[in-house]
Each structure stands twice: as C-alpha cells, then as structure tokens.
Structure 1
Amino acid sequence: MEENHMSSIMGWFRQRFGKQRNDLDQVQPGKCSQTCPSGHSNTSSSSSSSSSSSISAKPSASDQPLPSVLSSPFRSSLRYDVFVCHNDEDSDLAQSLASFLEAPSNGLRCYLQERDCPAGGAVSTELLQAVQDSHCWLLLVTPNFVKDDWCSYQMHQVLSEGPMSQRIIPAVVNMPRSQLPLELRFLFTVDLNTNKEFGYTLVYKTVLHYLKDMSEKEKPSSASQSDG
C-alpha cells in the first residue's frame, strides 16, 4: 500500500512539473526556430517589428519646424538669445540648461562665459558686451550664486541694462525663493527645485514670449518707416 501511494505521488509530480517545463521550453527565446514548423513566421516578432517601424516613421522633435519668431529681424539684431549667469560651482547645471535651450529642436543661442569668452580678453569688458548683445538674461540663482561677488556684479550689470524687464529670468535651484537677492524678488521666477525639465521648458517659453512680443512691437515701426 505504501509503495503504491508513493508511486502515485511521484506520478503526479512528474505529470504536473513535467508539463510546466514543456510549457517553458516552448516560450523560451531561441526555441521557436526549433519547434515552429518551417514556413511559419513568428507572429509576435513580426508584429513587434511592424510596431517599431511605425514608431520610427513618426517625425522626431528635431524634425519639427522651429518657431517663426526665431527667423524674425528683431531676433537676428543681437548675437545671443540668452546670457547665462552662474557661479563656477554650478557650471554643470548651467551647461545642461544651455544644451537644452540650444538643442536643434529649440534653436536658441546662449552665452556661457567659460565657453564663449575669448581667451586673453578682458573678462569684464567681454561680459558687458555679451550682456548688451543678448536678448534675455538668465540668472541661475543658487546658494553659490548668492555668496559670489562676481555673480553679484553680473546681476547688477543686467539690472542696469533692463530694470523691471521681462528680459531678466531668475531661475532658482537648491534654495527657497525667499532667499533670493532682494533685487530679484519682484521678478517672475522659474523654480528648478522640483522639476528641472519643466523649469527648462518654462525658461525656453519665456524667451520665446519675449522675442515674439518684441517682434510684434517692431512691426508697426518698420511699416511706418517704409511708408515714409
């Protein structure tokens, strides 16, 4: 009786787990070429490839046309769209933001001192020229920025060029807005603390809005000059 009982149990195990192993063998990658009849294609593979080809057929962001304002005469009147002011310790963040703005799908022109200031030139002179030759000024305000006298100098150069202007874009990161320099607290501020990608996009849209607004204001004056 005991031998018959054990034999029955072992038979159940072989039947149960032998079936699971066979099922697994049939779905393992590489097994289909051995088990599928010749002349039959792998439907999951073909559907996957057709799906991927349909995805690749969609236009990428870089294929989308740039906003028309980037072709306006007003925009081309200055060399840079965005002057990026930052502390040396925040160079990686500044370069990341500039790379986003300068991406082919966005098409802006940024000034970064460490990249665009000519070697051997007078830094203060080159800086002032870059400020005057930029449509907007992005201040990357961090704890390092607040403690940096050089950043404070750049900030005041910007403020002297366009006080109370939408051209000035303070972007706050790694600190609360309440710790902004007093000179910047009345300005619209971009918060990079919670979502940098969203903040980058907001900076981009702010620059475009300024360029579009100024381009439209330039049109009536240009038309009146041509009529005269």
Structure 2
Amino acid sequence: AEPCSRPHRGLSNSTGWFRRLLHKPKPSSGESSLSSSRSASSSPSSSSSSAQSLSRPSGASPSRAPPPAPDISASGSARWAKSYDLCICHSQGDLELVLELVSYLEAQPQALRCFLGLRDAAPGGALLSELCDAVRDSHCWLLLITPGFLRDPCCHFQMHQALAEAPLAAGRAIPVLKDVDRKDYPKELRNLYYIYMALKESGFRQIRDTVVRYLQELCRSSSSSSE
C-alpha cells in the first residue's frame, strides 16, 4: 500500500470540525419573523450604518488607502543628489547584454540614469579612479555576476568598493546571477538576495523594479525627514 494515497483520518476529522465551525445555523421561526420585522421597519440610513458596522470592528477607524508612491522625477527629489541611478559592474565579455539592459532601463518612463564605463568614463581617466567615482556618484550598484565577472579583478575591486560605500544600505547593491551556480556566488554577497536572470526579459523587469523601489523609499524618507 502506498502511504501517500491513504487518506489521513486526523486531517479529515479536522476538516469536518472546521466546516461545522463555519456553518451558520438556520434561525428558528421566531428569530426569522423578528429579523424580518426589524428589516421592514429599518430606514435606509440605519441599514447603511448596520452594513458599515458589520464591515469593520467596533471602534476601528475607516481603512485608508496606502499613500501614493513618491514622484521620483519631481524637481527637488532626493534622486537628483547623485548623477546616476545605477552603476553597472560587469565584465567586458558581457558588454552586449549590458548594452541591452541599459537601453531598456533608460527607455522606461522613469528614464533611469545608468553609468556605463565604456560610454560615461572620462577619456584618459584612470580606470580605478573612474570606477570609484562611479560608485560614489550612483544610488544603486548592479553586480552582473557571470563566469567572466568571477575571473575579472576589476569586477571584484568594484564589488568591494560598492560594499564599502554603504555596507548596510538595503537595496543599493543588486547582485544578478547569470550562468553561475549558486555554489559560486561570491561569499562577500552571501547576506544579500540576488536576482537570477534565467530569462532576459523578466530579469530586466526585476532590475528596473528594484531600482525604482529604492528611489521611491529614498524620496519618501527624505520627504518625511524634512517635514
């Protein structure tokens, strides 16, 4: 006999008890006539107030809609305190994928500003200095962890710079794994959740949503602290 196909008595009994608990008994004839007479004599306003009292516990305040998300593109937003929304750390072998990602992010309604070394670094600038400046002048840092990233000393340097810049800032460092096993995930990032890019389109959307969410929280906290 297969244990998985055998019904569980304890589960069946508890299910029956739960159904009896939820079962509403029918009112007696006296209760039915009393309730019908009350409903006939009640005014629309009293019926409305009764419905409202049933919809929420006594003494509870009316439910409020969640506050609207801050406009991260508004002038004076905390977003504009830095030159870039996202600095992308990647290996040269992943440049084609990164160019697609940057085109996608910059074409979004939020027009996310991305630092791309090949395009935005100052000509003649020292490589390490440019990387450090890009990390400091960006709100978030995307670490595109691929086999090429794991072999590239510059990628490791930029990763450590990002972690040293804001080690406790949740949401700023965004690890993205592609074609890398979980066992090869850098130990320095083990305390951070990552995005696994199995499908390019869904991975791009996750990256966009993560950056926008961080910028919204940044603007919200900045607005509340200034009040």
| Shorter-normalised TM range | 0.5 to 0.7
Displacement of 1:91 = 0.6
Q: CA deviation at 1:106?
A: 4.1
- Aligned: 1:145 with 2:149: yes
Give the equivalent residue in structure 1 for 2:182: 177
Structure 1 or 2: more helix by fraction:
1
**Where in structure 2 are the equivalents of 1:46-125 lying within 5 Å?**
68-71=71-74, 73-125=77-129
From 174, 186, 192, the equivalent of 1:187 is: 192
TM-score between the two structures when normalised by the length of structure 1: 0.65
Provide runs of 4+ in structure 1 moved above 4 Å. Answer: none
State how far apart, in whole Å, the 1-side matches of 2:152 and 2:128 are: 15
Q: Which structure 2 residues correspond to residues 35-54 of structure 1 after superposition, within 5 A?
A: none
In structure 2, the residue corresponding to 1:170 is in which secondary structure? strand
Q: What runs of 5+ residues in structure 2 fail to find an aligned partner?
A: 1-69
Amino acid at match of 2:152: D
Deviations 1:26-61 (A, max 9, x none): xxxxxxxxxxxxxxxxxxxxxxxxxxxxxxxxxxxx
Percent identical: 41
Cα deviation digits, residues 45-81 of structure 1 (max 9, x gap): xxxxxxxxxxxxxxxxxxxxxx822325100111000
Tell me how far apart the structure 2 counterparts of residues 209 and 84 of structure 1 sit (CA, whole Å): 17
Greater Cα shift, 144-153 or 172-181:
172-181
2:110 and 2:199 map into 1 onto residues whose CA distance is: 19
- For 2:125 and 2:131, the matched residues in 1 are separated by 10
Q: What's the TM-score, normalizing by structure 2?
A: 0.66
Contact 1:83/1:136 (8 A) holds in 2: yes
Is contact 1:80–1:135 with CA below 8 Å preserved after alignment? yes
State whether residues 83 and 131 of structure 1, in contact with CA within 8 Å, keep that contact through their aligned partners in structure 2: yes
Distance 2:166 2:97 in 1: 25
Question: Hey, what's the Cα distance between the residues in 2 that align with 1:90 and 1:174?
Answer: 11
Letter in 2 for 1:202: Q
The 2-side partners of 1:134 and 1:154 are apart by 13
Shift of residue 177, structure 1, vs aligned partner: 2.7
Give the 3-state SS of the residue equivalent to 1:211 in structure 2: helix
Q: Is the 8 A contact 1:111 1:130 kept in 2?
A: yes
Count of residue correspondences: 156
Match of 1:131 among 127, 135, 142: 135
The letter for the 1-side match of 2:181 is: P
Matched letter for residue 184 of structure 1: L
Structure with bigger gyration radius: 1
